[in-house]
Amino acid sequence: MSKDLPAVSPETFSLHGGYDPARSEGAVKPPLFATSTFAVKTAVELAGWFRQAYGLDGKPPSAPDGLIYSRLVNPDLQIFEERWSVYEGAEQSALCASGMAAIVTALLTLCRPGDTVLYSVPVYGGTDYFMEHLLPAFNIHTQSFPVTASGEDVTALIAQCQHDDQKVKVVYLESPANPTLSLADVGGIARAVHALGALRPMLVVDNTVLGPVFYRPMELGADLVVHSATKSIGGHSDLIAGIVCGSSELIAGVKATRTIFGTMADPHTAWLLLRSLETYKVRVEAAEKKAEKVVAFLRVHPTVEEVFFPDTCGGEQSACARSQCSGHGSLLSFTVRGGREAAYCVLDHLRVTRLAVSLGSTESLAEHPRTHTHSDITPADLDRFGITEGMIRLSVGLEDADDIIADLAQALNELL
């Protein structure tokens, strides 16, 4: 911690928190601690830290008081985790090697063979694959439900699983859903789950799309929040990382699993994230303003059938957005007339926006969810989720909004 740092906002803490320049030769920015191991003064001291790390004194495993090995603790990871926890409103965070590493580490910390995970759909393709194919291989049952389900719907599903002798350990939400941008009623589901008492499932929310500048699931009752930090947190398409956030007790367990699985991020990635975090709020707010202009353009273009963007669907979805979110973010999807052939035509004619997967970066990125990011999902499920042949997902970057719109216009006009 910087000396004498008062209570400050997350964007200020992201510049100064968790770091004292005096401990690093006065360097204003945290150095890159590119080391695998650390020298210790005495053997007794090192033995004590290992007892902490592996829970050898009858206590749960915890972060040791000193530095041993970068698989357990590294200063760059520590600084980033402390800064991000303030942004998310969490007690602690665990930085992982990717968004999927964060999800896998969190769920395998919480679940054991015989347990059941209920998860909202649609979700990111990698998450869907993990739920559908890998967790069942560990005898962890999974069952999906629509992201727009109510708290009552979820508790009814939990009751049905209990009737079938399945123990529901986790309810997992991705909100907004990728790529339909549908919002879950996190608050309503959290209230319903918490009402089940001490043996209730843990509520885990993937907050990658909006992030805590616009959306704070922990304040709505989530137990853990996960992110692909590759996206808007990293924000420059130059790193892969993930984050798990939650209470000190839960994150201690996540970090113990992370240590043994080896799913932590490397020091250089953490150092890059420290750089990115300083501009995080500025970047996501600027991209949101540009996305709103792009949405306004797409809504009136004659080749566009529908635009998907938080708070644009009316009814319960708009009410959910107004009650839970302070912004819309910069990810959107839209469908074009003519199906896959038309969507491919638009994608192939883009000149400013890059034809690439991922989202939340400084450059605009577009892709075809049905055959790209979500291609492992069955056609029947894709139809059920509304991921159609004509859908294009667009992550709006920091280019001039008029340039993005002009690029989309010339590509869409190929369909006229």
Residues 310-336: b if buried by 16+ CB within 10 A, e if exposed: bbbbeeebeebbeebbebbbbbbbbbb
Cα Rg of the chain (Å, integer): 22
Which one of 1.10.3470.10, 3.40.50.300, 3.30.1370.60, 3.90.1150.10 gives the CATH number of domain 281-415? 3.90.1150.10
Instruction: List, for residues 372-402, the tens digit of each pLDDT value.
Output: 999 999 999 999 999 999 999 999 999 999 9
pTM, rounded to two decimals:
0.95
Q: What is the DSSP letter of 23?
A: G
Class of the domain covering 70-277: alpha beta
- So where are the chain's domains? 70-277, 281-415
Instruction: List, for residues 336-379, the tens digit of each pLDDT value.
Output: 999 999 999 999 999 999 999 999 999 999 999 999 999 999 99
Residue 54 tokens read as: 């592996």
pLDDT at 246 over 70: yes
Instruction: List, for residues 302-322, the tens digit of each pLDDT value.
Output: 999 999 998 655 667 778 888
Nearest to 163 by CA among 120, 116, 195: 116
Q: Give me the pLDDT at residue 1, please.
A: 44
